[in-house]
Amino acid sequence: MTSDLPFPRRTGSADVSVRAARPGDAAAIARVQGITWRTAYRAVLPAEILDAWDEPAVAASWQAAVTSPPSTSHRVLVAVEKDVVVGFAAVAVGAGVGEVTTLLVEPRWGRRGHGSRLLAAATDLAAADGARRLEVWLAESDRASADFYESAGWAPDGWARTLDTGDAPLRELRWYTVLDDEEGSRP
Protein backbone atom coordinates (compact mmCIF):
# COMPACT_ATOMS: atom_id res chain seq x y z
CA MET A 1 0.00 0.00 0.00
CA THR A 2 1.15 3.49 -0.62
CA SER A 3 1.92 5.71 2.33
CA ASP A 4 -0.78 8.25 1.42
CA LEU A 5 -3.57 5.82 2.37
CA PRO A 6 -5.20 6.16 5.79
CA PHE A 7 -3.42 3.22 7.44
CA PRO A 8 -3.03 2.13 10.06
CA ARG A 9 -6.28 3.52 11.39
CA ARG A 10 -6.05 3.74 15.19
CA THR A 11 -8.81 4.81 17.52
CA GLY A 12 -8.40 6.25 21.03
CA SER A 13 -5.83 4.95 23.45
CA ALA A 14 -6.74 1.28 23.02
CA ASP A 15 -4.41 -0.74 20.84
CA VAL A 16 -6.87 -1.26 17.98
CA SER A 17 -6.32 -0.57 14.31
CA VAL A 18 -7.16 -1.46 10.75
CA ARG A 19 -4.32 -2.05 8.34
CA ALA A 20 -3.61 -3.62 5.00
CA ALA A 21 -3.40 -7.39 5.31
CA ARG A 22 0.08 -8.88 5.14
CA PRO A 23 0.99 -12.31 3.74
CA GLY A 24 1.48 -13.62 7.29
CA ASP A 25 -2.15 -12.74 8.13
CA ALA A 26 -3.70 -15.38 5.85
CA ALA A 27 -4.02 -18.09 8.53
CA ALA A 28 -5.57 -15.61 10.99
CA ILE A 29 -8.04 -14.40 8.34
CA ALA A 30 -9.06 -18.01 7.61
CA ARG A 31 -9.43 -18.65 11.36
CA VAL A 32 -11.69 -15.59 11.80
CA GLN A 33 -13.76 -16.61 8.77
CA GLY A 34 -14.18 -20.19 9.98
CA ILE A 35 -15.14 -19.23 13.52
CA THR A 36 -17.53 -16.52 12.33
CA TRP A 37 -19.22 -18.74 9.78
CA ARG A 38 -19.65 -21.53 12.33
CA THR A 39 -21.12 -19.26 14.99
CA ALA A 40 -22.84 -16.24 13.44
CA TYR A 41 -23.82 -17.89 10.13
CA ARG A 42 -24.65 -21.46 11.20
CA ALA A 43 -28.34 -20.90 10.45
CA VAL A 44 -27.58 -19.25 7.08
CA LEU A 45 -24.93 -21.49 5.52
CA PRO A 46 -25.51 -25.14 4.61
CA ALA A 47 -24.06 -27.65 7.06
CA GLU A 48 -22.11 -29.29 4.21
CA ILE A 49 -20.10 -26.09 3.68
CA LEU A 50 -19.32 -25.77 7.37
CA ASP A 51 -18.55 -29.48 7.76
CA ALA A 52 -16.20 -29.46 4.76
CA TRP A 53 -14.33 -26.36 5.98
CA ASP A 54 -10.66 -26.70 5.00
CA GLU A 55 -8.82 -24.00 6.92
CA PRO A 56 -5.43 -24.54 5.20
CA ALA A 57 -7.07 -24.26 1.76
CA VAL A 58 -8.96 -21.13 2.83
CA ALA A 59 -5.72 -19.66 4.22
CA ALA A 60 -4.02 -20.35 0.89
CA SER A 61 -6.82 -18.51 -0.92
CA TRP A 62 -6.44 -15.50 1.38
CA GLN A 63 -2.65 -15.65 0.94
CA ALA A 64 -3.18 -15.36 -2.82
CA ALA A 65 -5.69 -12.53 -2.36
CA VAL A 66 -3.12 -10.59 -0.33
CA THR A 67 0.00 -11.34 -2.39
CA SER A 68 -1.45 -11.60 -5.92
CA PRO A 69 -4.74 -9.70 -6.10
CA PRO A 70 -6.46 -9.60 -9.51
CA SER A 71 -5.96 -5.82 -9.66
CA THR A 72 -4.54 -2.95 -7.64
CA SER A 73 -8.08 -2.08 -6.55
CA HIS A 74 -8.61 -5.45 -4.83
CA ARG A 75 -7.65 -4.99 -1.18
CA VAL A 76 -7.77 -7.06 1.99
CA LEU A 77 -7.80 -5.27 5.34
CA VAL A 78 -7.50 -6.63 8.86
CA ALA A 79 -8.79 -5.32 12.17
CA VAL A 80 -6.27 -5.82 14.94
CA GLU A 81 -6.64 -5.61 18.70
CA LYS A 82 -3.27 -5.65 20.43
CA ASP A 83 -1.47 -8.20 18.24
CA VAL A 84 -4.51 -10.33 17.34
CA VAL A 85 -6.31 -10.25 13.98
CA VAL A 86 -9.95 -10.04 15.05
CA GLY A 87 -11.68 -9.23 11.76
CA PHE A 88 -11.13 -8.57 8.08
CA ALA A 89 -12.68 -7.04 5.01
CA ALA A 90 -12.11 -7.35 1.29
CA VAL A 91 -13.02 -4.58 -1.16
CA ALA A 92 -12.66 -4.17 -4.92
CA VAL A 93 -13.44 -1.31 -7.29
CA GLY A 94 -14.26 -1.35 -10.98
CA ALA A 95 -15.94 1.19 -13.27
CA GLY A 96 -16.75 3.59 -10.43
CA VAL A 97 -18.48 0.96 -8.28
CA GLY A 98 -16.86 -0.68 -5.28
CA GLU A 99 -17.93 -3.88 -3.58
CA VAL A 100 -17.28 -4.99 -0.05
CA THR A 101 -16.95 -8.67 -0.87
CA THR A 102 -16.71 -9.67 2.78
CA LEU A 103 -16.51 -8.02 6.18
CA LEU A 104 -16.34 -10.27 9.22
CA VAL A 105 -15.43 -9.76 12.86
CA GLU A 106 -14.98 -12.79 15.06
CA PRO A 107 -18.04 -12.77 17.36
CA ARG A 108 -16.07 -12.73 20.63
CA TRP A 109 -14.46 -9.45 19.46
CA GLY A 110 -17.77 -7.90 18.43
CA ARG A 111 -19.24 -4.62 19.67
CA ARG A 112 -15.80 -3.00 20.03
CA GLY A 113 -15.92 -0.91 16.86
CA HIS A 114 -13.84 -3.26 14.69
CA GLY A 115 -16.58 -3.65 12.07
CA SER A 116 -17.11 0.11 11.86
CA ARG A 117 -13.36 0.73 11.49
CA LEU A 118 -13.14 -1.92 8.77
CA LEU A 119 -16.10 -0.43 6.90
CA ALA A 120 -14.67 3.10 7.18
CA ALA A 121 -11.29 1.95 5.88
CA ALA A 122 -12.89 -0.02 3.01
CA THR A 123 -14.95 3.06 2.13
CA ASP A 124 -11.84 5.26 2.16
CA LEU A 125 -9.99 2.84 -0.13
CA ALA A 126 -12.92 2.53 -2.53
CA ALA A 127 -13.24 6.32 -2.74
CA ALA A 128 -9.48 6.68 -3.30
CA ASP A 129 -9.78 4.13 -6.14
CA GLY A 130 -12.52 6.19 -7.81
CA ALA A 131 -15.68 4.49 -6.55
CA ARG A 132 -18.75 6.68 -6.47
CA ARG A 133 -20.94 3.92 -5.06
CA LEU A 134 -20.16 1.05 -2.70
CA GLU A 135 -22.20 -2.18 -2.58
CA VAL A 136 -22.41 -5.35 -0.51
CA TRP A 137 -24.52 -8.51 -0.84
CA LEU A 138 -26.11 -9.72 2.41
CA ALA A 139 -28.05 -12.88 3.12
CA GLU A 140 -31.72 -11.88 3.32
CA SER A 141 -32.01 -13.60 6.72
CA ASP A 142 -28.89 -11.87 8.15
CA ARG A 143 -30.58 -9.18 10.26
CA ALA A 144 -27.43 -8.42 12.28
CA SER A 145 -25.43 -7.43 9.18
CA ALA A 146 -28.39 -5.53 7.73
CA ASP A 147 -28.72 -3.56 10.97
CA PHE A 148 -24.96 -2.85 10.95
CA TYR A 149 -24.97 -1.49 7.39
CA GLU A 150 -28.20 0.42 7.96
CA SER A 151 -26.67 2.12 11.02
CA ALA A 152 -23.79 3.20 8.76
CA GLY A 153 -26.21 4.86 6.33
CA TRP A 154 -26.54 2.04 3.79
CA ALA A 155 -29.85 0.85 2.30
CA PRO A 156 -31.08 -2.02 0.11
CA ASP A 157 -31.39 -1.00 -3.55
CA GLY A 158 -34.04 -3.54 -4.57
CA TRP A 159 -31.73 -6.07 -6.27
CA ALA A 160 -31.72 -9.68 -5.11
CA ARG A 161 -29.92 -12.83 -6.18
CA THR A 162 -30.21 -16.47 -5.26
CA LEU A 163 -27.10 -18.59 -4.79
CA ASP A 164 -27.09 -22.34 -5.29
CA THR A 165 -25.42 -23.67 -2.16
CA GLY A 166 -26.02 -27.34 -2.86
CA ASP A 167 -28.63 -27.31 -0.10
CA ALA A 168 -31.42 -24.76 0.21
CA PRO A 169 -30.97 -21.74 -2.07
CA LEU A 170 -29.44 -18.69 -0.36
CA ARG A 171 -31.20 -15.44 -1.21
CA GLU A 172 -29.12 -12.26 -0.92
CA LEU A 173 -30.08 -8.60 -1.11
CA ARG A 174 -27.78 -5.88 -2.41
CA TRP A 175 -27.15 -2.93 -0.11
CA TYR A 176 -25.40 0.28 -1.14
CA THR A 177 -24.15 3.69 -0.18
CA VAL A 178 -23.22 6.61 -2.39
CA LEU A 179 -19.70 7.99 -1.96
CA ASP A 180 -20.01 10.78 -4.53
CA ASP A 181 -23.36 12.43 -3.92
CA GLU A 182 -23.34 14.71 -7.01
CA GLU A 183 -26.69 13.34 -8.14
CA GLY A 184 -28.36 13.53 -4.72
CA SER A 185 -29.01 9.78 -4.68
CA ARG A 186 -27.83 8.99 -1.17
CA PRO A 187 -29.72 6.11 0.45
| Helix and strand element counts for the chain (H, E) | 5, 8
The Cα 61–Cα 53 span in angstroms is 13
Domain that holds residue 177: 19-183
Whether 4 is in a domain gets the answer: no
For 104, other C-beta atoms within 10 Å of its C-beta total 23
**pLDDT, position 7:** 54
**pLDDT, position 4:** 40
The Cα 132–Cα 127 span in angstroms is 7
Whether 34 is in a domain gets the answer: yes
CATH number at residue 24: 3.40.630.30
Tally of domains in the chain = 1
Q: ∠72-21-32 over CA atoms, to 5°?
A: 125
**pLDDT, position 185:** 53
Whether 118 is in a domain gets the answer: yes
Give, for all 187 residues of the chain, the pLDDT tens digit.
333 445 555 555 469 999 999 999 999 999 999 999 999 888 888 788 888 889 999 999 999 999 999 999 999 999 999 999 999 999 999 999 999 999 999 998 877 799 999 999 999 999 999 999 999 999 999 999 999 999 999 999 999 999 887 777 889 999 999 997 655 455 6
Whether 177 is in a domain gets the answer: yes
**pLDDT, position 102:** 97
Whether 1 is in a domain gets the answer: no
Do residues 18 and 6 make contact, with C-beta atoms less than 8 angstroms apart? no
Q: ∠127-174-161 over CA atoms, to 5°?
A: 135
**pLDDT, position 187:** 64
Whether 12 is in a domain gets the answer: no
pTM of the model: 0.87
Q: What is the DSSP letter of 58?
A: H
**pLDDT, position 13:** 44
